[in-house]
Amino acid sequence: MPSWGTPLTGVYVQSHGAPSQKENEHPVSIARVEARVQPARPGDPKRVGPYRIIGRLGSGGMGTVHAGLDPAGLRVAVKVIHPAYAADPEFRARFRREVQLSARVQGPCLIPLLAADPDAENPWLATAYAPGPTLDQHVAAHGALTGGTLYAFATGTAQALAAIHAAGVVHRDVKPQNVVLTPAGPRILDFGIAHAADGTSVTRTGVMTGTPGWISPEHYRTGTAGPEGDMFAWGTLVAYAATGRLPFGTGAPDVVAYRVMSGEPELDGIPDELRDPLTKALAKSPAERISADAAAEECTRLLSRQATQVLGADAGPEPGGVSDCLTTEWSVPGVADPAWHLPAPAFRRRALITAVVTAVVAAAVTAGVVTFHNGGDRGDADLTSEGTAPSAPPSGRPAPLTTTGPRKPAETTAPAADPRTIRIPTDPLAGVPDPAYTRAGEETQPHPDEWRSSTTADSPEERDAAKTIRDRMLSMLATKDMDFMQPTITFNQRAQTVLVTGGPVSQLPEDHQDVFRRVGEMAACSTLAHRLENDPTTWPYGRFSVHWKTSDGDLGAAALGFGEATDGCVAETAGQWHGDEFGMATAEIPSSDKSEIRVADATVKAIVATWNANTAETNEDALTVNDGISLGFDPVESAAYVWTDDPNSRFASRASQSNLKGAVEAAVCRKLTGEFNSDKSWSYTRWAVAVHDAYTGTRQFVGSGTCTP
């Protein structure tokens, strides 16, 4: 059963801190395995679920962690439970609860759980692979964190706990062994003793959970473990990261417990400005502690100030905000492992550094974006005779959209067209006297029975279409680090409808669902439009709908959206593309693509420079990076969105808005076309700009268009 979130493992401790014999043999932590891939051993599985096993990452008392690859080449860590524990009904119940809790948690600086099957003969779960040492390993080898890396660590871990608490989950085992320092930023994991805020727990009755030195005062006294306890542990964690020592010392568990409950923490050596949030976190009374949201906000300000000091007093933060600062300030070396270096996959997972405050986020591993166009604009269909996706470009970014179905024979031999310039047909059945798809023009919403009676792909043509839609969706979702939302593609031939289903995730944020809807609609529409054009008399599917399941037992997954591939896949007015609030909302979600981040940063600087170069003509005051101009990308319609909340009231007049539009169009098109011509995997050519309206309190679009490479 697929699920997503963060792997849940941990240590179970008796009430006085001494580990019991059984609880001490905790489920093997994916965080604590060796960094390098070890050879597989006799008896190791060749496959687990959809993953091909290529070696081992480590083993423990409860199971083995295997190095695996998914069908697209994503590196994963697959934990398989030992048969002895799989036979224990109580253990299975705890493991199942672990997976259910993890499905609630989505956010920055967390290791996503990609899939799990607690009902398999040997239960397993798979997470994205996160290279790097744990915090305690790093401190032992290299010493405490310093400078910007320390502030980035405090910010990222607070942001992760804020996401955990927002999902109604309490971690209950925040400690250095459960934080991995990846090249992309810190990652919190291990929820084996996680506790739901509704009171349901995966721990056993009468057993205190946690690790001595990382347990809050109220937990020692009453066994209470709420979000406030996590923040006490966070304060201890950051203090340890800054000094290399525990603020309440080490020793016998009961001695450490006494210091935690009655003593004051030792914070010498911690930067003065960082002491304030840590002191609030380490308050004896839970009611007096800082929340994760407040800690993230306060550390964000400190991180921004740190970056400003590095850049110079007059520089100010770069246009990407604190997320760019975190990238700049984070300095932890990567972990090389030649055993992972396999042929480049069609697309690669990116790890999100943080979603601290703005639309441009810190870097992750290279991946790419896909664009879709209709009408007179460019498309990204790669018409191949076999209808299969080409191999990934050398950059590792995903290949452009591949059209399913046979290619119409060419009358003459010609050079292969740039797949980014091939159009998606707006009316693929034009002039076809007797098409197989007969429901064109119907506007009825899909009925739940159509979803319930849909089936997986049966024919080679259906399987090819399903693969194309799925690959297209994952490549777009990956630019927002959302490719954990694995889609299922089914068909209802009677309804002539292709159905795209996500889930089950019961509490996925609405903005994530909306991105899934837009991505599903675009991928299905573009794929079906090409199929209808190539096989109009035999291909029966022209409608599509996108659904979301909240649980495995959901018998009526809600329809998020639907449409027809005969209506065009991109909305235009009089042949012109215009930005909209849906694209803006997607663009505001931080990107995790290195090229997007680089281009966004350079383009914002270019906008400011272009505006300032024109001030003699426009009589406008010069802009600075503090005037709040941001840029983000919408992979669904291949558009760069520029926006400003106008903190200094620079763009209130129509003249100023017109001047901003001109500067944006000139700078954005210059940057986008330059990237388009130099990078064959770059497909963004559209742009839109929006300005905050003081009267309505919302952003209003003041311009949009399409650049011509």
Q: Kindly state the tokens that stand for 144.
A: 């405490």
Q: Which helix (H) or strand (E) holds 498?
A: strand 497-502
Whether 74 maps to a domain, the answer reads: yes
Summarize pLDDT for 136-161 with one digit per residue, the tens.
989 988 899 999 999 999 999 999 99
* Whether 112 and 251 share a structural domain: yes
The number of folded domains in the chain is 3
Q: Name the residue with higher pLDDT: 206 or 347.
A: 206
Query: What pLDDT does residue 394 have?
Result: 32
Residue 680: Cβ within 10 Å count: 16
Give the residue-averaged pLDDT of 34-44: 77
Query: Does the pTM of the predicted model rise above 0.85?
Result: no
* Whether 562 and 683 share a structural domain: no
Residue 284: Cβ within 10 Å count: 15
Give dist(CA 359, CA 356) in Å, integer.
Answer: 9
Whether 406 maps to a domain, the answer reads: yes
Q: Please compute Rg for the chain using Cα positions.
A: 26
* Whether 558 and 598 share a structural domain: no
Domain interval for residue 418: 381-570
Indicate which residue of 173, 464, 535, 646 is catalytic. 173
Query: What pLDDT does residue 613 have?
Result: 93
Q: Kindly state the tokens that stand for 554.
A: 């959901």
pLDDT tier at 388 (50, 70, 90 boundaries)? very low
Q: Nearest 5°: CA angle at 25, between 106 and 19?
A: 100
Quote the mean pLDDT of the chain.
77
Cβ pair 378, 684 in contact under 8 A: no
Summarize pLDDT for 399-409 with one digit per residue, the tens.
333 333 333 44
Cβ pair 107, 162 in contact under 8 A: yes
Per-residue pLDDT at 62 exceeds 60: yes
pLDDT tier at 337 (50, 70, 90 boundaries)? low
- β-pair type (488-492, 497-502): antiparallel
Q: Which helix (H) or strand (E) holds 116?
A: strand 113-117
* Whether 298 and 443 share a structural domain: no
Whether 219 maps to a domain, the answer reads: yes
* Whether 75 and 151 share a structural domain: yes
Cβ pair 547, 560 in contact under 8 A: yes
Cβ pair 303, 609 in contact under 8 A: no
* Whether 88 and 222 share a structural domain: yes
**For residue 178, what is the domain's CATH number?**
1.10.510.10
Q: Kindly state the tokens that stand for 312.
A: 């110079």
Summarize pLDDT for 564-622 with one digit per residue, the tens.
999 889 888 777 899 999 999 999 888 888 888 888 888 988 999 999 999 988 899 88
* Whether 524 and 598 share a structural domain: no
User: Is 402 in a helix, a strand, or coil?
Assistant: strand
Instruction: Using the 3D structure, point to which of 285, 305, 325 is the last residue of a domain.
Output: 305
Summarize pLDDT for 665-685 with one digit per residue, the tens.
999 999 999 999 999 889 999
Q: Kindly state the tokens that stand for 662.
A: 């001109």
Summarize pLDDT for 441-496 with one digit per residue, the tens.
887 888 888 998 999 999 999 999 999 999 999 999 999 888 888 899 999 999 99
* Whether 428 and 537 share a structural domain: yes
Cβ pair 238, 154 in contact under 8 A: yes
* Whether 527 and 593 share a structural domain: no
Report CA 664 to chain centroid distance, whole Å: 28
- Is 621 marked active-site? no
Whether 325 maps to a domain, the answer reads: no
Whether 327 maps to a domain, the answer reads: no
Instruction: Using the 3D structure, point to which of 570, 594, 620 is the last residue of a domain.
Output: 570
Query: What pLDDT does residue 310 have?
Result: 53
* Whether 595 and 699 share a structural domain: yes
Instruction: Using the 3D structure, point to which of 305, 322, 351 is the last residue of a domain.
Output: 305
Query: What pLDDT does residue 335 have?
Result: 61
Whether 478 maps to a domain, the answer reads: yes
* Whether 445 and 550 share a structural domain: yes
Whether 539 maps to a domain, the answer reads: yes
pLDDT tier at 90 (50, 70, 90 boundaries)? confident
**460: exposed, middle or buried (C-beta count within 10 Å: 0-12, 13-18, 19+)?**
exposed
Cβ pair 277, 290 in contact under 8 A: yes
Whether 278 maps to a domain, the answer reads: yes
Per-residue pLDDT at 82 exceeds 70: yes
* Whether 591 and 566 share a structural domain: no
